[in-house]
Amino acid sequence: MKTYIVGNWKMNLSVGESSIYLQKLLKRIKLAKGLEVAIAPSTIALQSLSVQLERSKSKIKLCAQNFYQKDYGAYTGEVSVMQLRGIVNYSIVGHSERRYIFGETNKDLRQKVAAAIRNNITPILCVGETENERSYGETKDVLRDEIFGALSEIDADDVKKVIIAYEPVWAISSTKDAKIASPDDIADSVKLIRSELKEIYGKEVSEEVPILYGGSVNPNNAGAYLTIPGVNGLLIGGSSLISDHFVDIIEIAKRVKS
């Protein structure tokens, strides 16, 4: 299975700044077999970065941060997943900031997952519990509800086309009073996720779905996270905005994989 390193730039960097940053990456990183690197800039930068990557013949992939679940229609201000076809390979779906700031529901997310699959874009489905849910022992229930709430409109074959990112809300660096998740914490939750997938979709699906970890990832802890059994990569926020840190994490992933 591939190792995935995905940088989520969130609402940062102008189009020009995004291009300069990408140029730095192109000069500094050399991808290895079995390692997939993707960056998720703001939507307005996707088209120009796509052209930049095509010209450079780089194997770095583009990832959207969000999209609207309808292919077309009277939805002023939205960008559909169909409009992203040919530009991105991946899209983040259900990030906690979309859930808790913008009120996205499991109904919205199941439509988005199905729309991404329909348009040959791999959804990176984010799931994870809050600090309160964790303290009350509700992690398993939350993960089950978020996973199956988002996957209920696709069949088992299409579930294999999904990537799941475990991002405990309490460990995301942009969250107030964020904590650092221990490898044991993450290992337990990844086991839960695979167990739930196995129960509904069978062993084959549970073993084939890549699971990433995201939450305050940096060069100091990336190696430990990548060696957790069942973790197939990282979804990186703040550290992906610092080129030195992002390059360091990519190099760490290459060493761990080898």
Say if residue 89 is exposed, middle or buried (CB neighbours under 10 Å; 0-12, 13-18, 19+): middle
Q: Which run of H or E residues covers position 100?
A: helix 96-100
Cα(122)–Cα(118) distance, integer angstroms: 10
Residues marked as catalytic: 95, 167
Cα(77)–Cα(139) distance, integer angstroms: 35
CB-based burial, 164-202: b 16+ in 10 Å, e otherwise:
bbbbbbbbbeebeebeebebebbbebbebbbebbeeebe
The long-range contacts involving 24-30, CB below 8 angstroms and separated by at least 24 positions, are 24/243, 25/60, 25/243, 25/246, 25/247, 26/56, 26/58, 26/60, 28/243, 28/247, 29/60, 29/247, 29/250, 29/251
